[in-house]
Chains A and B, each alone.
Chain A
Amino acid sequence: MDPIQVTVNGEVRTAGAAGPHTNLLDWLRGEGFTGAKEGCAEGECGACAVLVARPEPDGTTRWVSVNSCLPPALAFDGQEVVTSEGLGRAPGACAVADLHPVQKEMAERGGSQCGYCTPGFVCSMAAEYYRPDRTPVEGDGDAQTGPAAVGDDHNTHAADHEHGPNGFDLHAMSGNLCRCTGYRPIKDAAYALGRPDDSDALARRRTAPAPAARPTRLRTDTGEFVRPASLAELLERLAADPDAVLVAGATDAGVERNIAHRRPPLVLAIDRLEELRGLEIDDDHIELGAALTLTEIETRLAGRIPLLADLFPQFASRLIRNGATLGGNLGTGSPIGDAPPVLLALDASVLLASAAGERDVPLAEYFTGYRESVRTPGEIIRSVRIPLPLAPHAAFYKIAKRRFDDISSVAVAIAAVVEQRTDGGSLTRVRIGLGGVAATPIRARATEDALAGRPWTADVAREAAAIMATEGTPLDDHRASARYRASMLEQALLKFYEENHASPALEVTR
C-alpha cells in the first residue's frame, strides 16, 4: 500500500507518525501547524477547525470546515487539508503579512482578542466564504450590526439576523466559541466579506474534482485503522471483527477517544463508501444513505422534508454536521440524539446490512435499551427510509439551554394528519417521537392514542398534553430536572396545538 500522505496547505506530507488513535489536530500540531488549537477536545468549541476538500455531486470540490480534534489523522490519507496558516501569510522576520480576506476582516474589525479561538473562526468563516451557493440577500443592503448601527426598528430582526447581506449564514460559525469578544465584531467581519476573486487559489480549486478516497490500512502495536475499498470488504472485515468501531465523521468516536480514552483495536472508516452515500427520492419513500453527512442531506434535500429542515440547524453545529451522519446518530443510539425523535415522527425505517444480507427495521422497533439496538454484531446501518407522503403538520421542539450547538434536555417531534370535516379538524394519524425522557428515544404512544381519531380542539389537546407529561421516565441531571422535562412534554403538545389548530394550511390528507 502507498505511504499515508496528507496534503496540508498545498504541501504533501507523510503521515507515518500518526497512529490509529492520533486525531488530525494532534498530528497537525506535531507537524508544526500550531494554528489549530485544542479548546475542548469534543467538537464543541471549534478552536481546532480546519478546511478539507470534499466532493460535490457534480464532480467539483467544496471546502468544508471540520473539527480536527475528532477524526483520526489517518482518515485524511490522500486528502487535502488547509489550516489558518495556509489561508494567508503571517507577518514575521523578513516577512510582510499577506492576509486572506477573511483574516483581514477579522484583524481590522477587532474580531480577535486573545486570539486562541481565532484560527478556528477563520477556517469556519473561510468555508462559508467559499460556499458555492452563498449569494447576497436581495433587498437587505444593510444588516444591523455594529456599534454604529443604532437600531431603526429592532422588531424586524426576523430571520435575517442570522444572514448577512452578503448571504453569509451565521450558522457557519455555530460551532465556534469565543470567550472574549461577545461575537459582534466577528459577525461584522463575516457580513462584510465579498466574493472570492479569480486569483484566489482555493476558489479555483473548487472547479476541479476533490481527492478520491483511497483504501488505507495501518496496524501498529496500539491498534489498526482500515478504510475498506468497498461495502463488501467492509462487511467481510466486520464479520471477522464484530467489535470494530465504525467511524464516518468520528464526531462521537472522537469524543470517546479524547475524553473517555477509548482505544479500540480496530477502526473501520466508512464515510466515503459510495454504497452508503446514496440519496433517492421516489413516489413512496425517500432513502438517505447512512454515511451522508447531515450537511449533505440538508443541502441536497433543500427543504423537501420540512421536519428535517427544522432539525438540521438545531443539530449540534455546522462543524459537526459536516462530519456527522444519520448512521452514526442511530448507530450510537444515544437517548438524546436529535435525529431519532424526528425520524420516529416520520415513521422512518432503518436498512441494516451484513455479509448475510439486508433487512428493513422500523425505527420504532430499532432501539432496545440504553445505547442498544436490534443491530447485531456484523451489521451496519446502510440507509434510513422515510415513507411518503409526509404528514402535513409537523414540528420539532428542542429544549436546551443554548439555541446553537447544545444537547437536548428534551426533544419532541410531532407529525400529524388533520382531516378537515364539517364539524372541524380531526386527527387521523399522529406520530410523536421523544428524546431525553427514557433510556432510548421513544414514541409517545399513549399520547398518540389519545389524539388519534379525536377532534382537534383545545380540550383534546389539553387532555393529550396531560398524558404526554407522563410519557417516558425522565431523570434529574445537569441539563434539566425531571419535573421540567415532564412539563416540556406537556408544553410541546400545547405549543403544537397553538401553532397548528388555526392554520390556514389545514389540509385534507394527500
Chain B
Amino acid sequence: MSTLSHRPANPVVGLTVSHESAELHVTGAALYTDDLVSRMAGTLHAWPVQSPHAHARVTGLRTSPALGVPGVVRVLTAADVPGVNDAGVKHDEPLFPDEVRYYGHAVCWVLGETLEAARLGAEAVEVDYEPLPSILTLTEAIEAESYQGTQPTVTRGDAAAGLARATHRFSGEFEFGGQEHFYLETHAALAHVDEGGQVFAQSSTQHPSETQEIIAHVLGLHNHEVTVQCLRMGGGFGGKEMQPHGLAAIASLGAVLTGRPVRLRLNRTQDLTMTGKRHPFHATWEVGFDDDGMIQGLRATLTADGGWSLDLSEPVLARALCHIDNAYYVPDIEVHGRIAKTNKTSQTAFRGFGGPQGMLVLEDILGRVAPVLGIDPTELRRRNLYRPGQATPYGMVVRHAERLTQIMDEVSERSELQRRRRDLEAFNAAHAHTKRGLALTPVKFGISFNLTAFNQAGALVHVYKDGSVLINHGGTEMGQGLHTKMRQVAATALGVPLEVVRLAPTRTDKVPNTSATAASSGADLNGGAVKNACEQIRERLEQVAARTLNLHPSDVRISGGVVTGLGTQDSISWADLVRAAYFQRIQLFAAGYYRTEGLHWDASRMQGEPFKYFAYGAAVSEVEVDGFTGAYRFLRTDIVHDVGDSLSPLVDLGQIEGGFVQGAGWLTLEELRWDTSDKPSRGRLATQAASTYKLPSFSEMPETLNVHLFERATEDGAVYGSKAVGEPPLMLAFSVREALRAAVGAFGPAGHMVILGCPSTPEAVYWAVDAARRAGVEAVDGGAPARSAAPVGSGNGTAGNGTLGNGTLERELAEHLAPRGVTE
C-alpha cells in the first residue's frame, strides 16, 4: 500500500460527519458572494445590454442616453479596456464584442447606483445591428461545415474489419440535448480596489486562479496585483469553471474605473441566456456484434455543439471520445470527433465533462439493439464488460476491471433483480395501459484531468501556538463537501480531533496557480497537498515529541490530539507539544504540494494514460409508464458505487444520490429549446426561466433510493485510499432511461427496437409507446417489418434477418423522434 493511500489508526477520514458549513446553511448564515453586498457601502450595480440577434455586426453604439438616466454612473465598453478585450484563454471570446454571436450576447454593461437604475440605463443604450446569417442547430452546422477547434480521432485496430467480421450490424443516428447547470446561485462577482491598490474580487468561481488571470489580462495587470476569493458557491457543476471569469473582469474593470465596489450578479434570465451549458451532441454510428452479442467493431462520429466560442469544448470532446466505450471492450474502433460552431451560448463544462455524452451513445445503441439480437439488455451489457488485462481504445489498461462484474452482481442481488423481474412481468401482463420497466447499467469513469498539467495542487497549513489549525487549499467549495473532506484529511494527517481544524475560504493569495475544482479531482489533488503540508509539520513535531518523551521519532504516535509513543505510558497533549515546538523555534506552518504521478497523454494521437484510475458503479432502476400520456414515475433505484475507501461517507452518499438525480434530469426532464425559426426571435432561448426549464423536484426522485458503497475498495493511487466521486454517479442515471425504454418495449411486440428521444420527456416516451403499439398492430396484421419478426428470447443472439445493414428505417425513425429542441 502506498504512503498516499495508507490510513493510520483511528483516522478522522472515514467518519460520517455533516457538511462543514451545515449549521451555517440551515440558519441562513452561510454567506455567498452576493450576500456581501449589504455589508459594503457605496456599491454600484451592473446590468448588461443584451443582443436581440443571434448573429449581427454592431455598427453603432450610443451610450449617452443611458448616462441621462438618473442613477446611472458609467457605461463600460470596449474602449474602457486597458488590457486585452477577451474573457477567455483562447482569444475567441471578446468581452465587449463588435460582432454579437448569440441572442443575448452582452454588448456593454451599465453601472448604476441601484440595480433598477442600471437596468433602465441599459434600456436606454442605443445599439445599431447589422444582422448576419446564423447557425442554430447541429444539423445546420454539419450541413454548413461550421466547425471550430481540433477534430481528434480515437482508434484501435481496424473498425472496418471489426464490422466486416460481425454477423449483426446496425447503424443509426442519435441526437440528444444539453443541460443547464441551474446552480441555485447564479453567477456573481463583487470587486473593489483595496487599500493597497490591488484589485480584490469576490467571485462565485470554481477556478479562482483563472478568474484572477483573466481579470489581470483584461486590466493589463500582473497576477500579483489581483486577488480572487471564493467563499463558497451555491452550486457549480462545471458551470463556474470558465464562465465566471469575464463577469468578474467586468466587475473589476468597473471598480477600477469608478473607484467604487461593483457588484455583478446575473439574474436567472441573464444566467440562462448568457452562460454556457452541457454540450448537446449528434452521433452517427455503425456497430457490429457476433452471434454471442459481443461487440466486434464500432465506427462513430460525434459532433458536439460548442456554441459561439471554444471555451472548454476541446477537452469536453476529448473526454467524450475517451468514454464512448463506457464499461465495454470494443476490439476494433474508430471514433471521430468535431465541434460545431453555432450561434448559441458557449457550451462548457458540466459534471461528467463530455463523458456522459460519449457513454450515452453506446448505452443507447445497446438498449436499441438488444431486443433485435434477442439478448436481454442486462445480459448483453454484462457479456461485453471489460475483463482484467484489457485496455481502452486509447491504450490504457483498465485496472480493477473485475470490479465491474462484481458491482453488477452485487447490485443485482441487493435490488433483488430476479424476483422483481418476475413481479414486473406479472404486473405488465395484468395492465394494458401501464407498464413497468427495469434496467441495470454500469459506469466506468476515468479520473484525472485529460490535460496533465492540471493534475497538481497546493495547500497552506498553519498551526498556531495554542494548537489550533487553519488550513487553506486551492480547491473551492460548491456543496460537494470538499472542505469537509479536507478538514478530515488534515485532522487525520496531524493526528488531531476534527474540531481542532478550521478551514479558511479559498483565495489566490494563499495558494497560487491552482487548477479548477473540477474533473471530480478536488479531494484527490487538494487532499494530497493538504496531507503533504500536514506531514511536513507532523514530522517536525515528532522530533520535538521524541525529545520530550525520550523516544525515537519514528516511534512517536499522535492520534486524537494525544501524543505518545511505542513502549511508553507517557503522553502529552497536542497543544503542549505545539507550544513546546514554538519555543524550540520549530516552523509550525507549511506549504503542501501534490502532483498526480504516472500520467501521460498524447493529445494528437489520442493515446496514453490520461487517468490515474477508474471509478466504477452500477444502478438498477424501475419505472412505470402511463400509456395514455407517456408520463412516468421512478419507483425504485438501487446503486452500488465505488468510492474507494470513503473519506467522508455522508458526503459521498450525497454526491452519489445528487449526481444520479441530476443525471436523470438530463436524460428525462430537462430540455433546452432555442427558437430555430426564421423570425426575428431566431436564436432566442425559449426555456430561459425556472418555469420553462424544469429540473427534477421531489416528484422525480425515485420513491425508493438505496445506495451502497462498494466495500474493500482501497484505491492505491489516491489520498487515504479514496476515489473521486463528483462526476461518476451522474451516469448511473442511464439505468432510468433504459428502464423507460424497457417499459416502452412492453407496449410493443417482443423483439421491437425502441427508439427513444433524449431527453426522454413524457412526450418522447409517448411517441415511443405509440410506435411500439403500432409495431404490435403491424405484427398482428402480418405486416411487421423484418426487425420485429426476428427470433427473440433465444439468448444466443441468432437474430438472422434482424440485422439492419443500411439503417435507413432506423435513421428515419431517429429523425422522426429527434428532440425538437434542435430540429424545430
Chain A: minimal CB distance from B659 (Å): 8
Task: Give the interface size bracket for B toward A.
Answer: 35 or more
Q: For the complex, is B69 an interface residue (Cβ under 8 Å from A)?
A: no
Identify A35's interface contact among B28, B654, B705, CB under 8 A: B28
CB pair A110 B25 closer than 8 Å: no
Identify B183's interface contact among A35, A114, A399, CB under 8 A: A114
CB pair B28 A90 closer than 8 Å: yes
Whether A487 contacts B766 in the complex (CB less than 8 A), given A114-B184, A177-B697, comes out as yes
CB pair A481 B701 closer than 8 Å: no
CB pair B27 A147 closer than 8 Å: no
Q: For the complex, is A170 an interface residue (Cβ under 8 Å from B)?
A: yes
Whether A29 contacts B38 in the complex (CB less than 8 A), given A110-B18, A491-B629, comes out as yes
Q: For the complex, is A421 an interface residue (Cβ under 8 Å from B)?
A: no
B contact residues around A130 at 8 Å (CB): none
Q: For the complex, is A94 an interface residue (Cβ under 8 Å from B)?
A: no
20 residue pairs from A and B, CB less than 8 Å apart: A32-B38, A38-B267, A40-B691, A45-B690, A114-B183, A114-B234, A117-B234, A145-B704, A149-B704, A155-B423, A178-B184, A183-B661, A184-B705, A255-B691, A258-B267, A259-B269, A484-B763, A487-B766, A495-B433, A495-B629
Binds A, one of B29-37, B254-262, B444-452, B568-576: B29-37
Chain A: minimal CB distance from B427 (Å): 8
Distance in angstroms between the alpha carbons of A154 and B417 in the assembled complex: 12
Whether A41 contacts B267 in the complex (CB less than 8 A), given A179-B237, A179-B695, A406-B694, comes out as yes
B contact residues around A384 at 8 Å (CB): none
Chain A: minimal CB distance from B21 (Å): 6
Chain A: minimal CB distance from B766 (Å): 7
Whether A87 contacts B27 in the complex (CB less than 8 A), given A114-B233, A185-B654, A492-B628, comes out as yes
Residues B429-482 near A (CB distance < 8 A) = 433, 478-481
Distance in angstroms between the alpha carbons of A144 and B602 in the assembled complex: 50
Distance in angstroms between the alpha carbons of A36 and B662 in the assembled complex: 24
Whether A110 contacts B653 in the complex (CB less than 8 A), given A119-B26, A401-B671, comes out as yes
Chain A: minimal CB distance from B217 (Å): 29
CB pair A84 B28 closer than 8 Å: yes
Identify A402's interface contact among B21, B669, B763, CB under 8 A: B669
Q: For the complex, is B24 an interface residue (Cβ under 8 Å from A)?
A: yes
A contact residues around B267 at 8 Å (CB): 38, 41, 258
Q: For the complex, is A68 an interface residue (Cβ under 8 Å from B)?
A: no
Identify B481's interface contact among A88, A113, A176, CB under 8 A: A113
Identify A99's interface contact among B27, B234, B650, B708, CB under 8 A: B27
Task: Give the interface size bracket for A toward B.
Answer: 35 or more
**Complex: chain A residue closest to B35, CB-CB:** A34
CB pair A259 B698 closer than 8 Å: no
CB pair A112 B19 closer than 8 Å: yes
Q: For the complex, is B22 an interface residue (Cβ under 8 Å from A)?
A: yes
Distance in angstroms between the alpha carbons of A145 and B673 in the assembled complex: 35
Whether A34 contacts B31 in the complex (CB less than 8 A), given A154-B635, A170-B698, comes out as yes
Distance in angstroms between the alpha carbons of A182 and B479 in the assembled complex: 13
CB pair B479 A115 closer than 8 Å: yes
B contact residues around A83 at 8 Å (CB): 28
A contact residues around B635 at 8 Å (CB): 154, 157
Identify B689's interface contact among A40, A107, A150, A157, CB under 8 A: A40
Q: For the complex, is A404 an interface residue (Cβ under 8 Å from B)?
A: yes
B contact residues around A477 at 8 Å (CB): 686
B contact residues around A88 at 8 Å (CB): 26-27
B contact residues around A108 at 8 Å (CB): 18, 22
Chain B: minimal CB distance from A464 (Å): 15
CB pair B19 A113 closer than 8 Å: yes
Q: For the complex, is B631 an interface residue (Cβ under 8 Å from A)?
A: yes
Whether A179 contacts B182 in the complex (CB less than 8 A), given A170-B698, A259-B269, A477-B686, comes out as yes
Q: For the complex, is B595 an interface residue (Cβ under 8 Å from A)?
A: no
Task: Classify the interface of chain A: helix, strand, loop or mixed.
Answer: loop
B contact residues around A30 at 8 Å (CB): 38
Chain A: minimal CB distance from B767 (Å): 8
Chain B: minimal CB distance from A192 (Å): 14
CB pair A34 B629 closer than 8 Å: no
- Residue from A108, A178, A495 with most neighbouring chain B CB atoms (10 Å): A178
B contact residues around A187 at 8 Å (CB): 698, 701
**Complex: chain A residue closest to B632, CB-CB:** A403
CB pair A33 B671 closer than 8 Å: no
A contact residues around B26 at 8 Å (CB): 84, 88, 99, 102-104, 106-107, 111-112, 115, 118-119, 122
Distance in angstroms between the alpha carbons of A148 and B234 in the assembled complex: 28
Query: What sequence of 0s and 1s flags, for each residue 343-387 of chain A, a beta carbon within 8 Å of any chain B beta carbon?
Result: 000000000000000000000000000000000000000000000
Q: For the complex, is A44 an interface residue (Cβ under 8 Å from B)?
A: yes
B contact residues around A491 at 8 Å (CB): 628-629
The 10 closest A-B pairs by CB, nearest first: A35-B28, A114-B479, A116-B234, A115-B25, A90-B29, A44-B690, A182-B661, A84-B28, A113-B479, A403-B699
- Residue from A97, A115, A178 with most neighbouring chain B CB atoms (10 Å): A115
CB pair A177 B184 closer than 8 Å: yes
Q: For the complex, is B761 an interface residue (Cβ under 8 Å from A)?
A: yes
Residues B663-709 near A (CB distance < 8 A) = 669, 671, 673, 686-687, 689-692, 694-701, 703-708
Identify B24's interface contact among A115, A480, A498, CB under 8 A: A115
Q: For the complex, is A232 an interface residue (Cβ under 8 Å from B)?
A: no
Distance in angstroms between the alpha carbons of A402 and B633 in the assembled complex: 10
CB pair B650 A110 closer than 8 Å: yes
- Residue from A122, A149, A401 with most neighbouring chain B CB atoms (10 Å): A401
CB pair A177 B690 closer than 8 Å: yes
A contact residues around B662 at 8 Å (CB): 179, 182
CB pair B28 A179 closer than 8 Å: no
Chain B: minimal CB distance from A76 (Å): 18
A contact residues around B38 at 8 Å (CB): 29-32, 34
CB pair A147 B30 closer than 8 Å: no
Q: For the complex, is A272 an interface residue (Cβ under 8 Å from B)?
A: no
Given contacts A157-B635, A182-B660, A488-B629, 8 further A-B contacts (CB under 8 A): A39-B185, A147-B706, A151-B706, A170-B698, A173-B698, A184-B705, A484-B766, A495-B433
CB pair B184 A90 closer than 8 Å: no
Query: What sequence of 0s and 1s flags, for each residue 399-433 of chain A, a beta carbon within 8 Å of any chain B beta carbon?
Result: 11111111101000000000000000000000000
Q: For the complex, is B820 an interface residue (Cβ under 8 Å from A)?
A: yes
Distance in angstroms between the alpha carbons of A110 and B648 in the assembled complex: 11
CB pair B27 A113 closer than 8 Å: no
A contact residues around B24 at 8 Å (CB): 90-91, 115
Distance in angstroms between the alpha carbons of A184 and B26 in the assembled complex: 17
Whether A495 contacts B704 in the complex (CB less than 8 A), given A40-B690, A261-B119, comes out as no
Query: What sequence of 0s and 1s flags, for each residue 215-238 of chain B, a beta carbon within 8 Å of any chain A beta carbon?
Result: 000000000000000001111110
Identify A498's interface contact among B182, B433, B657, CB under 8 A: B433
**Complex: chain A residue closest to B237, CB-CB:** A179
Q: For the complex, is A204 an interface residue (Cβ under 8 Å from B)?
A: no
